[in-house]
Amino acid sequence: MNTEISDVRAMEILDSRGNPTVRVFVELADGTRAVSSVPSGASTGENEAVELRDGDKSRYLGLGVLKAVDNVNKNIAPAIKGIDASDQWRLDAHLRELDGTENKGNLGANAILGVSMAVARASAQSFGIPLYRYLGGSNARRLPVPSMNILNGGAHADNSVDIQEFMAVPVGAPNFREGLRYISETFHHLKKILKEKGLATSVGDEGGFAPNLPSNDAAMDLIMDAIEAAGYTPGEDIAFSLDSAASSFSTDLTSKYDLKKSGAGKMDSAGLVALGEKWVKKYPIVSWEDPLAENDWAGFTDFTARLGDKIDVIGDDLFVTNTKYIKRGIKEKAANSVLIKLNQIGTVSESIDAVRLCRDAGWRYMISHRSGETEDTFIADFAVAMDGGQLKTGSASRSERIAKYNRLMEIEQELGEGAQYYW
């Protein structure tokens, strides 16, 4: 075993939307080879690390990533050859230094994260241990509770629903495999119900349905029906998780909102918080991501004060997996949970730092895919390494989503009796 990095190469591949993204190959001195592919968001937070795109309109409508690929091949590769791949923190610090900006805008977070993930995977392989154990230690054995995105609205769908994602959470399942079965069956029953009602059953980027529904309530009523049709009890076996992605219906990214799609109309933060309280009473909601816009810190604090003892209030665009913003959130009690997306911050060790900060504050966290994904299953292992928590990785359709679920079932099987699962 020799974990010195001996070769690093990148290439341009396509993500699940058919847009270019970065794939990185790493080789160690002992011959170990590993590969990783970087995901890409659509409803991105304004403070996310920079995803470097070529902007050359003659290729992929300007979305090419040849510059990021070049940065890996010409700048990063020569600078990290000889570094010990098992020293993840030092590698990531070196990558940050090489970039020299706070938002990784120089080399690109897509270039940097590809290298960071591939190096972690190569090192795990060289040690002969699975990635989740390499990153999480010998006692990493808790599976995450999945939040399955089964119905879409907001910017992700052409309907009268403001909320971007409605997710089913198997809170009452005995293990991951059974939990996945609960929510997959709910997804299939939802399809049946939609068909019977003459509604569309085509799926969006994350694999959820996006039928033409009249309101947010109608979407949640349908999910209640699907849970019951599948033979489960809402709230007991399966609960709801929502992602409002509220920046998308905020008119100034702070406190003014216009729920145009449903026709609920204009309201301020207080109005939106009151609506949230009403829905939490009416539906079995256990977690709610970005209920307010990304700069509406006061609104988040108000929402958390009213609902934080009942549900997980998760910041996605608010925190962008960045400890700087999470620290502010802890101070201002702006949430009680954080969405963790590795490409929002750009390295494996900074993502781990974000999770650690959550744990120290008694907060929870949800590891997340992006709406543009690849077949890379890194986040499945990452979730187990981070001691479970929760995970959102799309619906029971589209192979780039299923790949992560399948990897988690594999991990659970490998852990055998040691595997843990609880809400």
Name the site residues for ligand PGA (rule: CB under 6 A).
41-44, 243, 245, 316, 368, 370-371
C-alpha span between 166 and 173 (Å, rounded): 19
x-marked contacts with Zn ion along 288-327 as a string, rule CB under 5 A: ----------------------------x-----------
Backbone angles phi, psi at 249, to 5 degrees: -120, 20
- Please name which of 95, 124, 87 lies closest in space to residue 111, comparing C-alpha atoms: 95
C-alpha span between 238 and 156 (Å, rounded): 23
Please identify, using beta-carbon distances, which residue of 163 and 348 lies nearer to Zn ion.
163
Counted residue by residue, the chain has a size of: 423
Q: Nearest approach, Cβ of 47 to Zn ion (angstroms)?
A: 14
Please identify, using beta-carbon distances, which residue of 96 and 370 lies nearer to ligand PGA.
370
Which residue intervals of 52-130 are DSSP H helices?
66-70, 77-80, 88-99, 109-127
Burial class of 47 by CB neighbour count within 10 A (0 to 12, 13 to 18, 19+): middle
Q: Which two tokens stand for residue 222?
A: 């349908």
Q: Is 92 in the site for Zn ion (CB under 5 A)?
A: no
Q: For the chain, report the end-to-end CA distance as a whole number of angstroms.
A: 39
Closest residue to Zn ion in the complex (CB): 316
Query: What pairing do the DSSP bridges indicate for beta strands 285-289 and 5-14?
Result: unpaired
Closest residue to ligand PGA in the complex (CB): 41
- The one of ligand PGA, Zn ion, none whose footprint includes residue 42, by CB under 5 to 8 A per kind, is ligand PGA
Q: Nearest approach, Cβ of 43 to ligand PGA (angstroms)?
A: 4
CA 155 to chain centre: 17
Q: Nearest approach, Cβ of 44 to ligand PGA (angstroms)?
A: 5
Sheet holding 5-14, edge to edge: 5-14, 20-28, 33-37
Q: Nearest approach, Cβ of 98 to ligand PGA (angstroms)?
A: 26
- The one of ligand PGA, Zn ion, none whose footprint includes residue 41, by CB under 5 to 8 A per kind, is ligand PGA
Q: Is 387 in the site for Zn ion (CB under 5 A)?
A: no
Backbone angles phi, psi at 267, to 5 degrees: -155, 165
Please identify, using beta-carbon distances, which residue of 116 and 371 lies nearer to ligand PGA.
371
Q: Is 192 noted as a catalytic residue in this protein?
A: no
Please identify, using beta-carbon distances, which residue of 185 and 243 lies nearer to ligand PGA.
243
Find the binding residues for Zn ion in span 238-257 (CB under 5 A): 243
Half-sphere exposure of residue 406: CA atoms within 13 angstroms, side-chain side: 11
- The one of ligand PGA, Zn ion, none whose footprint includes residue 373, by CB under 5 to 8 A per kind, is none
- The one of ligand PGA, Zn ion, none whose footprint includes residue 37, by CB under 5 to 8 A per kind, is none
Active-site option among 206, 350, 373, 412? 206
Q: Nearest approach, Cβ of 45 to Zn ion (angstroms)?
A: 8
3-state secondary structure of 422: coil
Active-site option among 104, 191, 261, 341? 341
Please identify, using beta-carbon distances, which residue of 80 and 157 lies nearer to Zn ion.
157
C-alpha span between 267 and 296 (Å, rounded): 13
Q: Nearest approach, Cβ of 206 to ligand PGA (angstroms)?
A: 7
Please identify, using beta-carbon distances, which residue of 243 and 350 lies nearer to Zn ion.
243
Q: Are 409 and 176 in contact (CB under 8 A)?
A: yes
Q: What amino acid positions are annotated as catalytic residues?
A: 206, 341
Binding site for Zn ion (CB under 5 A): 243, 316
